[in-house]
Structure 1
């Protein structure tokens, strides 16, 4: 996905560093992400979710709050209120580009910030939170003994995740006084709450409180086994999948209609990560699948292999072609099933130079009150399938008709 880097002025006039991930195809909608407390825009969970949404047609803006990452200003002079102001400034920067956000995503304290600020962004139709606290003051529980030093000196150093961070007394007072319950009850946006039951930083009871305070439409999905930062790749992928599946109900992602006779468009394949072989496959905004290799070949077995996709394309095209012909003839075809076997193994072929001739075997089951001539004609029609024609230029395809009685016994 192409990425654009730019800056925009935050609440105090300091330049905030932003990354705008753009879709490869048409720009259908815009999402704005707010990261977790003292994190940055480039944590793995944010990157994974952004990549998944960009594949659907979203432009996704991630930015560093004042004093964090590559943004200007001093973090010790910020507060929860200023974080919300930075979020609103980011929304204004997008609007100025003609890309007003339709989706807000907030992680941890960033989740509380999007709940607090969403009502002030008219373009937003949906809000998703990950590990968000119901009480923003909850974050001060992580400051430990430093609270006394902060109160005495006005600022103090806190160790968060092995990193020293300077926290100001204004932040402590502001976040303790914050109450986002009224904002949640008046949200008037679709809400998705993602939370890990064993989150040791922000307990699962926070998700329950947010859910109870919100009005419908609202959804609550458990991130079983995830930690607060959603640091494992499989947890980030699951969160990305859930958000992607959910948001299409509330944000219009219909691409512009192509002109008559135009090709089907781009099928985008991109690595889910540099480890293993898991691939994201996106065809348009709504159609997503995973490709992978078996565990024995270094994959995670979370999707079909490339050869299995090839076989699936042949089987689907065969079934559709038979159905179209039977429908046109008004024949009593009740159901079509196509079992495709391929003589190759992708992981093995990728490791060696030997490339035997491809051989696909199709076993076609036709259910319905069809006579023998009709069944034989539909078997002939199977060879008219466009994918069959494409493959037979360099592959051998054998086709057989399965008797319904025989298929029922298998």
Structure 2
């Protein structure tokens, strides 16, 4: 998916670094993503969720809060309220681009921030929290040993996630004063609360409090055994798919009608795991699946193999073609199933004298219903007329070209 690197002015006027993940096709909606405490816009969960939503037609702006990541400013001078103001500035930036945000997504403390920021972003129709605390002061447990020094000295240097940060007394005072009850109760947007029951950083009690305080429409979805940072690709992918499916009830995600005679469009395959063979497959805004190889071949077996997809296409096309013919004839065909097996066989078995191996697909077709012998024979004949069968039988021309080289994200 295309990604724009952009900057906009934060609450203090300093430039904030952002990425705008865009769909390949039309933008059906726009989301604004707020990252977790002391994290950045480029953590794996933010990247993967944004990419998957972009694949479904939802543009996503993710940015580094003031003083974090590639954004300018001093983290020491920020607090929870300034994060909220940064979110509102980001929404204003999107609005000036004619992309007012429809959806707010916040991870951990970013989840608390989007709940508070919603009142300042009137275009928002839906809000999603991921592992969010009900009380922003919850984050103080990350540096509780330094609290006495912060209170007495005004600030202290703490180590969080292997990095050093200066936490000021203003930050501590602000999170302690930042109660969210009223903001959640008066959210005036649909709410989706996502949380892992075994989250060791922010307990699921926080999710229960957010959900209980909110008014309908509201939904609660468990992230099962995901960790707080949603670091596993499969957990981030699951979260993105749930968010897109849920948001479709509150945000119009209907793609514009294609012109008559338009082709099906572009199917994009993107590498999901450079250490294995897992691939993301996105066809249009709604259809997503995974391709992989079996573990015996170095894959993780999380999706069908490439040949499995070919076999699936043949089986589906066969069933559809038979149904189309039987429906037109008004024959009593109650059900169809097609089993497809793929093998490599010696070409001489099919073409005498040939020494190479070719691909062989074997179909076993089951027709349910009170069909007579002549009807069954005709439907078996019709199966060979399915377009995918003809493509495989006759071969196809594949044209390959190299796109412009895209630099790797920093």
Whether the TM-score (by the shorter chain) exceeds 0.5 is yes
What's the counterpart of residue 305 of structure 2? 305
- 1:241-260 equivalences in 2 (<5 Å): 241-260=241-260
What's the counterpart of residue 113 of structure 1? 113
CA distance in 2, matches of 1:292, 1:23: 23
- 1:355-370 equivalences in 2 (<5 Å): 356-370=357-371
CA distance in 1, matches of 2:215, 2:89: 27
What's the counterpart of residue 373 of structure 2? 372
Q: Is the CA contact (8 Å cut-off) linking 1:307 and 1:344 kept in structure 2?
A: no
CA distance in 1, matches of 2:147, 2:356: 67
Deviations 1:337-366 (A, max 9, x none): 111111149xxxxxxxx9721111111111
What's the counterpart of residue 214 of structure 1? 214
Q: Is the CA contact (8 Å cut-off) linking 1:25 and 1:57 kept in structure 2?
A: yes
Deviations 1:136-187 (A, max 9, x none): 0111122122111111222211221221111111111111011111111121
Point out the more displaced range, 296-305 or 244-253: 244-253
Displacement of 1:3 in angstroms is 1.1
Which of structure 1's runs of 4+ aligned residues deviate more than 3 A? none
The residue matched to 1:358 in structure 2 has which SS?
strand
What's the counterpart of residue 328 of structure 2? 328
What's the counterpart of residue 389 of structure 1? 390
What's the counterpart of residue 79 of structure 2? 79
CA distance in 2, matches of 1:148, 1:186: 35
Give 5+ residue unaligned stretches, structure 1.
346-353, 396-410
What's the counterpart of residue 100 of structure 1? 100
Q: Give the TM-score normalised by structure 2.
A: 0.91
CA distance in 2, matches of 1:181, 1:356: 68
CA distance in 2, matches of 1:291, 1:7: 35
Point out the more displaced range, 124-133 or 106-115: 124-133
Displacement of 1:123 in angstroms is 1.8
What's the counterpart of residue 408 of structure 1? none
CA distance in 2, matches of 1:321, 1:122: 49
The residue matched to 2:334 in structure 1 has which SS?
strand
Give 5+ residue unaligned stretches, structure 2.
346-354, 397-410
CA distance in 1, matches of 2:369, 2:199: 54
Q: Give the TM-score normalised by structure 1.
A: 0.91
Query: Does 2:35 match 1:35?
Result: yes
- Alpha-carbon RMSD across the aligned residues, in angstroms, is 1.6
CA distance in 2, matches of 1:355, 1:66: 63
What's the counterpart of residue 166 of structure 2? 166
